[in-house]
């Protein structure tokens, strides 16, 4: 667990692909508990520490996760996450096939199968389906892979994974959605790269960027992007 940003009201951490944000049936210690322990220790707090979960990332996904340290911040962040385009989340995904265009918008209707913990993307509306929209653009490529930057316009279960798989651009290591092989450690090449929002209390604009996992392909792409920026 790596702290990316903290103040009295919010704290953001860089989640690894093996960590879970909240407790689940595996019984593994969740990120939320690790952050609570960190706060308790750092500030020598007696008793229970308040920490609010504002959003989640799938277990095999890495990147920035934002928590609320006060109930005031939690209530405001929950409202902000519920609105469109108030909190901007940017993801990086590594895929083995080039998308049809260098940049585009994907629109599908997703049906969630809770038994399989999977979402299925359709081109037409179906019973119990929810509209899913994302914007992607190709940032870079290696000899075998493409780096995509993705901005979510809706927040659906496994949205990026299901929508990219629907156009044949399966995320590296994502066997659930059709990748032929898993990655070492079981993570997938999907990373919550950046989150941008107006601070729920101070009203300052905050932008938090998460470094990529320690993996050769990720490091190659991050270096390429950093070189482009300079």
For 176-195, how does the pLDDT look when each residue is reduced to its tens digit (9 = 90+)?
999 999 998 899 999 999 99
- Residues 156/119, Cβ–Cβ less than 8 Å: yes
pLDDT of residue 77: 96
* Residue that wins the pLDDT comparison between 142 and 83: 142
* Alpha-carbon torsion, ordered 40, 199, 19, 219, to 10 deg: -120
Confidence of residue 46 (pLDDT cuts 50, 70, 90): confident
pLDDT of residue 158: 95
The answer on pLDDT for 1 being more than 90 is no
**Neighbouring C-alpha atoms within 13 Å toward the C-beta of 208:** 26
The residues facing 52 across adjacent strands are 68
- Residues 52/77, Cβ–Cβ less than 8 Å: yes
Residue ranges in 27-171 assigned as alpha helix (H): 31-42, 71-82, 159-166
Architecture of domain 2-229: 2-Layer Sandwich (3.30)
Domain boundaries, the chain: 2-229
């Amino acid at each position: 667990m790596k702290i990316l940003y903290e103040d009295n009201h919010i704290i953001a951490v860089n989640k690894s692909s093996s960590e879970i944000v909240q407790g689940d049936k595996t019984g593994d210690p969740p990120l939320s508990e690790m952050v609570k322990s960190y706060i308790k220790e750092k500030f020598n707090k007696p008793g229970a520490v308040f920490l609010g979960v504002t959003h989640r990332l799938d277990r095999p996904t890495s990147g920035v996760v934002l928590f609320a340290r006060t109930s005031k911040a939690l209530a405001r962040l929950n409202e902000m996450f519920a609105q469109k385009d108030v909190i901007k989340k940017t993801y990086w995904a590594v895929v083995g096939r080039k998308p049809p265009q260098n940049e585009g918008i994907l629109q599908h209707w997703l049906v969630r199968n809770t038994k399989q913990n999977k979402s299925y993307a359709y081109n037409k509306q179906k019973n119990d389906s929810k509209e899913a929209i994302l914007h992607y653009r190709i940032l870079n490529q290696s000899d075998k892979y493409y780096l995509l930057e993705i901005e979510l316009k809706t927040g659906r279960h496994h949205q990026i994974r299901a929508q990219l798989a629907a156009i044949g651009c399966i995320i590296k290591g994502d066997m659930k959605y059709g990748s032929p092989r898993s990655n070492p450690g079981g993570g997938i090449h999907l990373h919550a790269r950046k989150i941008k929002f107006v601070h729920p209390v101070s009203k300052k604009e905050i932008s938090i960027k998460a470094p990529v996992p320690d993996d050769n392909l990720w490091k190659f792409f991050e270096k390429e992007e950093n070189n482009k920026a300079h």
